[in-house]
Structure 1
Amino acid sequence: MDDKQLLRYARHILLDGIDIDGQERLLASTVLVVGCGGLGHAAAAYLAASGVGRLWLADDDVVEASNLQRQILFGPQDLGHPKAEVLARRLAGQNPDIQLRALVERLDETRLRELLANCDVVLDCSDNFATRHAINRASVATGTPLVMGAATRFEGQLSVFEPRRVDSPCYACLFGEGLADDGACATFGVFAPLVGMVGTAQAAEALKLLLGIGTVACGQLVLFNALETGTQSLGLTRQPGCPVCGAREAAGASPLPAQAAPQASGGVRGA
């Protein structure tokens, strides 16, 4: 890091769990955020500010007037423009240290596997089951940690799926692949601050994974209710017969400790 970076990231460097080595690790990391809506906004903003060196933003949608209530980095001047490109420009202006890549495309499982093979962490900030399951399958296939967030009405969810751990469930263990989409905020609405609550929590989980610090929400489903204080956490277990992750032992997944060491689709829409 140069002197400007040492000053910029000084408050991270002061932390025993990060220091200079940890900040340099973040600067060398690659993270994919799938969905540039409210969740993706909050998550990507803090990942960019924290100095994640390569931040890839994927969304094939454009900015609409109804997005402005919660997707706070968009303005009226952005209506009709690709979300991924607008968000990448905003974040690049805020932190010139990092590389922003806008992916204005519909990510299928093949494309997701290609991208995740070069990523350290992926964040699922989408809003439909088809995309979530495609991300999950690519995460398991490539061994890439997945941080899932969801938000609708006044309620949100967060979990971490860590395919490098044989005891970690995957998204399909929690939500079977046969489920139909029924929770999109376009149908039921969403409380504006809720996406910030969940999205920033996703960023925190991703940073902990990259740095190898703290305890991540692997094996937990964290529940948010914006009408109440605090969160609830439910335990999750891996389903041995899961068609997505059930055969990981045979594929050679390692029984990593509770905190894993860091690594050195339908349309993609965000909540």
Structure 2
Amino acid sequence: MFSKEELSRYNRHIIIPEFGLEAQKKLKKSKVLVVGSGGLGSPMLLYLAAAGVGNIGIVDFDVVDDSNLQRQVLFGIDQIGNSKVIAAKKRLEHINPHIKINIYNTQLTSQNALEIIKDYDVVADGTDNFPTRYLVNDA
């Protein structure tokens, strides 16, 4: 199930007696959707990718802006003006090439929420507005 590179990468997780190989396998099989890749979603995405969550979805419709870089740690100045989901995917693939990243360059709405969310085990809310938070909760 794991390549030699993955076993080396996740070794610190695997050697923890309370975690081990079985838990790492569960992480690899898991599917997490992160709604929003800004100040909350950025660090969440970095840690999910680094930990080895096997399938990560990202929903965001915004672009990288220099006024947000102090808190959106996933992005750098070379990505200003680019789509957040595209920039996030590239960055996360550099952090961990053993995972799959699915991007949704759209706003989560009542028309598309169920279709986007249906394939994920966990939905993590990284948004900064109440209407979207309520929508995620309802969906």
Q: Which runs of 5+ in 1 are unaligned?
A: 139-271
Alignment of 1:119-268 (within 5 A): 119-138=120-139
Computed over aligned residues only, the root mean square deviation of the Cα atoms, in angstroms, reads 1.1
How far residue 59 of structure 1 moved from its aligned partner, in angstroms, is 0.5
Q: Is the 8 A contact 2:46 2:74 kept in 1?
A: no
Structure 1 counterpart of 2:79: 78
For 1:69, what is the secondary structure of its paired residue? coil
Instruction: Describe the superposition over 1:17-62 as per-residue Cα deviations: whole angstroms up to 9, x where unpaired.
Output: 3211111111111000000001111001000000000001110001
Structure 1 counterpart of 2:68: 67
Equivalent position amino acid for 1:55 in 2: I
Identity of aligned residues (%): 42
Counterparts of 1:5 and 1:107 in 2: how far apart (Å)?
Answer: 33
Q: Which runs of 5+ in 2 are unaligned?
A: none
How far residue 14 of structure 1 moved from its aligned partner, in angstroms, is 1.0
Structure 1 counterpart of 2:115: 114
Q: Is the 8 A contact 1:109 1:137 kept in 2?
A: no
Greater relative CO (CA pairs within 8 A, separation 6+): 2
Structure 1 counterpart of 2:22: 21
Runs of 4+ in 1 over 3 A off after TM superposition: none
TM-score by length of 2: 0.94
For 2:123, what is the secondary structure of its paired residue? strand
How far residue 110 of structure 1 moved from its aligned partner, in angstroms, is 3.7
Alignment size in residue pairs: 138
Structure 1 counterpart of 2:42: 41
Equivalent position amino acid for 2:17 in 1: D
Higher helix share: 2
Q: Is the 8 A contact 2:31 2:54 kept in 1?
A: yes
| Larger radius of gyration between Structure 1 and Structure 2 | 1
